[in-house]
Structure 1
Amino acid sequence: MTSPRPTVVVTGLGATTPLGGTAEETWQAILAGRPGAATLDESWVEEFELPVSFAAQLTVPAAEVLKKVETKRLDPFAQYALVASREAWANAGSPEVEPERLASAVGTGIGGVQTLLTAWEALRTKGPRRVYPLSIPMLMPNSAAGTVSLEFGARAGAHTLVSACSSGAESIGYGAHLIREGLADVVIAGGAEASIHPLPISGFAAMQALSTRNDSPQTASRPYDTDRDGFVLGEGAAILILESEEHARARGANIICELAGFGVSADSHHIAAPEPEGAGASRAMADAVRDAGATPADLCHINAHATSTPVGDVAEVAAIRRAFGDDADHMAVSGTKSMTGHLLGAAGALEAVFSVQAVRDRVAPPTINIDNLDPAVTLDVVRDTPRPLGDGDLLVLDNSFGFGGHNVALAFRTFA
């Protein structure tokens, strides 16, 4: 007879974002409906004549938080992961755990792109002797997971999932898998990204994926609005501390909520465009709810992927309807990228933090910048102000999708 799988709980949160230097500062800004995008004060915007001149940058630069040696030896995305992980670890009460029972799982969509391009420029203009010796370990996509593992002595694995914009969410799901399979007691899980640089901006702009509202950055990210024209590039990191319920109870931890379900699928449709009928995304959502031992009727809130692209937003609406049918009518749907911008590989992790905070505070965050709701968006979108989620047990969903056809959904539930 097999023993029941361990219950996975969340005991700590950390983030550094375009809205705040901590998870709590960011959440309060989200509830206040504050936009994080602004015009870039960088010489390269004019130098390269970029078609997009704004983004959502960190409010607290990592250099103000980390030691100089840390910023010297880490690509910005790994710096952000370290900042968020330290906050999450402290928020969880700095748990005592055997190193062999502690893992890190930190995903990224692009990784150390700033280090890579800086090293290439040094090689091109100054020769191979001027390439920084730590360039390779800094640019590796796994450098954030490795850095976090070194920081906390995590020896149950330093895992890196690279699945574009669903990387952070999938890393959290993978962390839950490690605990459920008995491979770890505690996992430091999330995502990090630092790609506000002329090359990624140029690439996304060439795809016509970015908003070009250069005259109004704060209103550029507008999920579900009829005049949406693309996403706003953001940066940052978000981390959850996941534990088995048994481990958390044994040390008297403050349990915030349960990570109850995890769903993952692939569209196998197009390298960048979403499957228009939402078949793959709907499977991930339905699987997450099923994995939680729940039904669509139990689901009260969805933090949607909602990037503000013309095609992506309505494809997700179709997927939600396909997964949940008429039950979707009672789900409060939020598009928090309207404030944070799109953090790419860190987006799903940050929205997982928001989902945990929504369960904790029993409130769904708002979506801003909707002047005219797209008629194709047949959902109950939370607009402008937060909405109370009521009493009783709550089940909320965090959706994350990425280029390559990746679909991830995480279900969080109140913990008694």
Structure 2
Amino acid sequence: MTGRHRSGGHRVAVTGIGVKSPAGNDLEEAYTTVLKAEGTAASLAGWLVEQDHPVHFGCLVPPFDLEAYLTRRETRQIDRTTQLLLCAAADAVADARLPADLPPERVGAQIGTGIGGLPSMEAVTLSHGDRPREMPVHTVPRTMANSPACRLAMRYGYQGACTTYSSACASGTTAVGEAARKIRYGELDVAVAGGVDSAVTTVVVGAFARMRAMSTRNAEPELASRPFDVDRDGFVMGEGAAVLVLERMDSARTRGARVYGEIAGYADTCDASHIVAPREDGETAARCMRQAIADAGLRPADIGHVNAHGTSTLLNDRAEARAVDRCFAGQPPPLTAVKGVTGHLIGGSGALEAALALLCAERGLVPPIANLRASAESDLVDLVVAAPRTVPTAPVLSNSFGFGGQNACLVLVPEG
């Protein structure tokens, strides 16, 4: 099955994927880890415990060879957020095998981030806040929220639209969706799109903990992120980046590119009700899902499974379950949520989850939700538990919802 846009335009292929995540540093590794449904959160005792921090665990990207991607000079000039983005992008671009003669003005960089340069600003404030005359010379470019997108464009010479999207936890999904729109309507031929954040820091984690949004299971971090579980007590902060190379389907076919699938539908809405809490009835989130599905030229019954936002917070999971129930009129397809494994990558989560959702749809295997034992939402949604579930090859709906009531949904159609 392939999606067809009601409004016409070019079809949008996914021809490259790069991942730097707590679940693994390439797509296959991340996919295998997610299928095992084992949490990756671990204690960060080296610094958070010493500060008597209320939360001292998180999900970090496993070590990898940074020098294989960046020179030492680049590493000094850019912060970890941009480092992760550039490394994931390098893998995605290599995977896509883009032609060397692409017109640079027809290629864009489209990146989402929810936190942006805040961790770098936090670090420099703590180290040099009382010595402003000694501020590191690279402070401003390291802390600019648009640095990841601009550094990406500079590295490859992309002169098309270079845009940074910040829609809280929906940022990565927004970036991929808006990039697809630019290709669909002829503004770009190719877009390197994705999301990134690296926010496992003292101030950021402390601020979310103060809101009581984070799990405090310090004694068992690997069990802390439990989307839709009846005993969930908050999300787990993670870090990471995921990047997708998008291009016109006809061009990808002509050059014989490997096509993972298609970005067939996208929509975004706003609850416009509360700065941090979702709308309880899920209506605007459900409308976002319906619009994304319609944008793909599909019906809800055509969706093979749902990759939920699934933060492991009480209000968000409940609202999302109600939204899915509304969208699918009480007959939802299987639903999974990978944050039980990866934690919440904030701006990076939507792009990572879209990539994983597409691979799951292609292979017909939906991962179980980690740490899910019992759920108060099981009467509303068909939760995948205990073991991977085999499903027919079909389009997948990937959801992202963020503070400010930001909703963004993608419909991805696997190749073949």
TM range (shorter): over 0.9
Q: Which residue of 2 aligns with 1:316?
A: 320
Match of 1:114 among 108, 116, 119: 119
**Which structure 2 residues correspond to residues 209-224 of structure 1 after superposition, within 5 A?**
209-224=213-228
1:117 is matched by which residue type in structure 2?
E
**1:409 counterpart = 2:409:** yes
Matched, 1:55 2:51: no
Tell me, what secondary structure is at the counterpart of 1:155?
coil
Matched, 1:100 2:105: yes
In the superposition, relative to structure 1, how do residues 273 and 253 fare at CA in structure 2: closer, same or farther (>3 Å)?
same
Instruction: Give the whole-Å Cα distance in 1 for the aligned partners of 2:110 and 2:314.
Output: 32
Does the CA contact (< 8 Å) of 1:281 and 1:407 recur in 2? yes
Q: Name the CA shift for 1:377/1:83 in 2 (closer, same or farther; >3 Å).
A: farther
2:305 is the alignment partner of 1:306: no
- Equivalence for 2:269: 265
CA–CA distance in 2 between the matches of 1:210 and 1:388? 32
Q: Distance in 2 between matches of 1:375 and 1:83?
A: 38
Per the alignment, residue 30 of structure 1 pairs with 34
User: Unaligned regions of 5+ residues in structure 1, if any?
Assistant: none
> Counterpart of 2:347?
345
One-letter amino acid matched to 1:49 = D
Task: Say if 2:111 and 2:148, in contact at 8 Å, map to a contact too.
Answer: yes
Partners in 2 of 1:399 and 1:365 — Cα distance?
16
Aligned to 2:53, what secondary structure does the other structure show?
coil
List per-residue Cα deviations over 1:335-377 (Å, max 9, x = no partner).
1000000000111111011111112222112211112222565
**1:124: Cα distance to partner?**
2.3
Paired AA for residue 99 in structure 1:
P
Give, as a single letter, the amino acid of the residue that structure 2 aligns with 1:120. T
1:60 and 1:263 map into 2 onto residues whose CA distance is: 35
Partner of 1:339, secondary structure, is helix
Kept in 1: contact 2:119–2:204 (CA 8 A)? no
| One-letter amino acid matched to 2:409 | A
Structure-2 separation of matches of 1:64 and 1:227: 42
Instruction: Identify which of 357, 382, 385 aligns with 2:384.
Output: 382
Residues 163 and 377 (structure 1), Cα distance of their counterparts in 2 relative to 1, 3 Å cut = farther
Following TM superposition, where does structure 1 have runs of at least 4 consecutive aligned residues deviating by more than 4 angstroms? Answer: none
The secondary structure found in structure 2 opposite 1:322 is helix
Amino acid at match of 2:243: I
- Gapped runs of 5+ residues in structure 2? 1-5
Change (3 A) 1:141 1:401: same
Answer whether contact 1:15 1:23 (CA < 8 A) is retained.
yes
Structure 1-normalised TM-score?
0.95
CA contact (8 A) 2:38 2:371 kept: no
Which amino acid is the alignment partner of residue 128 of structure 1?
P
> Mapping of 1:129-144 within 5 angstroms?
129-144=133-148
Counterpart secondary structure, 1:231: coil
The percentage of aligned residue pairs carrying the same residue is 38
Contact (CA 8 Å) 1:62, 1:83: kept in 2 or not? no
Report the 3-state secondary structure (helix = DSSP H, G, I; strand = E; otherwise coil) of the residue aligned with 1:409: strand
Choose from 215, 232, 253 the match for 2:236. 232
Bigger mean CA offset, 57-66 vs 374-383: 57-66
Contact 2:193–2:246 (8 Å) recurs in 1: yes
Q: Separation in 2 of the partners of 1:169 and 1:243?
A: 17
Quick check: 1:261–1:412 contact (8 Å CA) kept in 2? yes
**CA–CA distance in structure 2, aligned partners of residues 103 and 149 of structure 1:** 7
Q: Distance in 2 between matches of 1:71 and 1:234?
A: 21
The structure 2 residue matched to 1:146, chosen from 144, 150, 168, is 150
Letter of the structure 1 residue corresponding to residue 145 of structure 2: P
Cross-structure match for 1:362: 364
| Residue pairs, 1:165-244, within 5 angstroms | 165-244=169-248
In the TM superposition, residue 41 of structure 1 has moved relative to its aligned partner by 3.7
CA distance in 2, matches of 1:95, 1:212: 48
1:270-298 alpha-carbon deviations (Å, 9 max, x no partner): 00000001111111100000000000110
Larger displacement relative to structure 2 (232-241 or 368-377):
368-377
Q: Is the 8 A contact 1:122 1:130 kept in 2?
A: no
- The AA in structure 2 aligned to 1:82 is L
1:51 CA drift (Å): 0.5
The alpha-carbon deviation at position 42 of structure 1 amounts to 2.6
CA contact (8 A) 2:369 2:384 kept: yes
* Equivalent residue letter for 1:335: A
Deviation at 1:121, TM superposition (A): 2.6
Q: Which has the larger displacement, 183-192 or 382-391? A: 382-391
SS in 2 for 1:12: strand
The 2-side partners of 1:313 and 1:58 are apart by 25
Q: What secondary structure does 2:350 align onto?
A: helix
Tell me, yes or no, if the aligned pair for 1:76 and 1:114 is still in contact at 8 Å.
no
Distance 1:384 1:240 in 2: 30
Q: Do the aligned residues in 1 keep the contact of 2:321 with 2:377 (CA within 8 Å)?
A: no
Counterpart of 2:106, as a letter, is R
Partner Cα distance (1:162, 1:234) in 2: 17
Residues 170/94 of structure 1: CA separation in 2 closer, same or farther (3 Å cut): same
Query: Residues of 2 paired with 1:281 and 1:33: CA distance?
Result: 26
Q: Quick one: structure 1 residues 64 and 26, their matched pair in 2 at CA, closer, same or farther if it must change by over 3 Å?
A: farther
